[in-house]
Amino acid sequence: MKILIYGYGKMAGAMVDGWLRAGMDACDITAYNPRHKDCADGVTLTTQQPEGEFDAVVLGFKPHMLGDIAPGMQAIAGPNTLVLSILAGVTLAQLDAAFPDVKANVRFMPNLAVALGKSPNVLAARDLSDSDRAAVTELAAKLGTAQWLADEALFDLATALAGSGPGFVYRFIDALAEAASELGLPADMAGRLATAVVDGAGSLAGDSDFTPDELADRVASPGGMTREGLNVLDENKVLKSLLFHTLKATADRGTELSRMAGKQP
């Protein structure tokens, strides 16, 4: 596929890195950004309005810029082009209004782990042909996994979990390390241990036949050290409550971003 990245920010750059890591040909990728940025070897980066036909156009600018930018993109967003939007909060209805002549509009929400091929990518579209759905699924699978949502109303919540989730995990790593440091462990060692713990635990959870809840119980012997710590986290469901409010605030922000991008459909 010939892919155009329209707006070369951190996420778009990470997607390009992931696609190249998965074996895509750099000459099939063009990136447009109004200001020059470094990009991967072989990828064409232009600061001039791109021309020509592309199989897919990835929207990589800020969501509130959609109304200003879309009119100037009509020449490259034609009936043979798939538009893949990584714009947080922007709905399919808003994309259809902005790009009425394209083959299909697709919401595509990755996280920065795309660079390593380990992102859970959330997808939503309507009136997508089987062949185009397969093509988008393949693009997403090169960056991690493809998770299609049947109900677009859940997209902001799924984005809060899969797209924003790494930020919350990084905060947890920092908090775990800082707590250990305050209790007396050298700060640099605490940081290394906390990062390694989350890396190993995540890998095990992903490969295990046990649920995370079951894995926690397998780590925690009755009356042991781990169980005593879990008792603190489980008391009054304080951890679950904190994360409920975290995800809700994040998902609600998606609705606000949609309103900023244009009238809510």
Angstrom distance (rounded) from CA 189 to CA 192:
5
Cβ partners under 8 Å of residue 218, min gap 6: 210
* Residue 15 confidence (pLDDT): 97
* Residue 262 confidence (pLDDT): 66
Q: Which helix (H) or strand (E) holds 120?
A: strand 119-125
Angstrom distance (rounded) from CA 159 to CA 161:
5
User: What is the residue whose two structure tokens read 């919540």?
Assistant: 157
Q: In whole angstroms, how large is the CA radius of gyration of the chain?
A: 21
* Residue 264 confidence (pLDDT): 39
The tens place of each residue's pLDDT in the chain, 265 residues long, gives: 999 999 999 999 999 999 999 999 999 999 999 999 888 889 999 999 998 889 999 999 999 999 999 999 999 999 999 999 999 999 999 999 999 999 999 999 999 999 999 999 999 999 899 999 999 999 999 999 999 999 999 999 999 999 999 999 999 999 999 999 999 999 999 999 999 999 999 999 999 999 999 999 999 999 999 999 999 999 999 999 999 999 999 999 988 888 887 653 3
Angstrom distance (rounded) from CA 26 to CA 43:
5
The 8 Å CB, 24+ separation contacts for 169-174 are 169/198, 172/198, 173/198
Cβ partners under 8 Å of residue 42, min gap 6: 20, 25, 26, 27
CA dihedral 259, 245, 106, 87 (to 10 degrees): 50
How many other CB atoms are found less than 10 A from the CB of residue 132?
17
* Residue 165 confidence (pLDDT): 95
* Residue 265 confidence (pLDDT): 39
* CA geometry: angle 101, 103, 105, nearest 5 deg: 90
List, in order of start, the domains of the chain with CATH numbers: 3-150 (3.40.50.720), 165-253 (1.10.3730.10)
DSSP letters, 216-241, are HHHH--TTSHHHHHHHHHHGGGHHHH
User: What is the residue whose two structure tokens read 């009509």?
Assistant: 74
Instruction: Report the predicted TM-score, pTM, of the whole model to 2 decimal places.
Output: 0.88
User: What is the residue whose two structure tokens read 């109004």?
Assistant: 34
